[in-house]
Amino acid sequence: MRVVIAEDNALLRDGIALLLGEHDIEVTAAVADAGALLSAVAADPPDAAVVDVRMPPTHTDEGLRAALTIRSAYPGVGVLVFSQWVETSYARQLLSEHVGGVGYLLKDRIVSTDEFIGALRRVADGGTALDPEVVRQLLAGPAVDAGLARLTEREREILGLLAEGRSNVAIADTLHLVERSVEKHVTAIFTKLDLPQARTDHRRVLAVLRYLRS
């Protein structure tokens, strides 16, 4: 896997590059601002980009806007954005505009090597990866969608784990359930949300986006 890093903190940028190298992930460029990120991706599109939401010059949403540009211009490049705090408006924007190939983690999550690397690989493969705290805050509001209102508490819990990019096996381990039980819950979620099986639709992602937009 080939990755571009965009982080204005040199120590963190170098630390991420070192971490990725230890997992046989090639860092094709490590830059400090959004402009350099877009140039690096244009010159040699990687499999994914790791992007800080806040970068120079204003340290507001330069990284997010660059990530959105990358997803639109280079559909094959996944973007994993991260920030110091949960920015729900940014997370909603990223997820509402792109069905897959996106992720949002808190910077603290990078300390947990396995979670960070796993999230990055899911995003590069076209999936989604959301920090558990991001999911908690995004799903905190009441559901107004009739299909969502039909979900049980357990189904809503599983939908939250789906948003994190967890597999059925991982969900079963987390909730101490057998995998078959998780499969039944996931099928029930799709049924209640009127998401029939189709070749072109990623039903897991569509279910999560339906929840986040409610």
What pLDDT is attached to residue 14?
A: 93
- Interval 127-182: pLDDT, tens: 888 888 877 776 665 545 678 888 999 999 999 888 888 889 999 999 999 999 99
Nearest to 103 by CA among 121, 34, 33: 121
Instruction: Say which residue the tokens 């973007």 belong to.
Output: 79
Say whether 139 sits in a helix, a strand or coil: coil
30: enclosing H helix or E strand: strand 26-31
Contact yes or no for 98/73 (Cβ under 8 A): no
Q: pTM for the full model?
A: 0.66
Label residue 199 by pLDDT band (50, 70, 90).
low
Q: Could you read off the pLDDT of 106-131 as tens digits, one per residue? A: 888 776 788 899 999 999 999 888 88
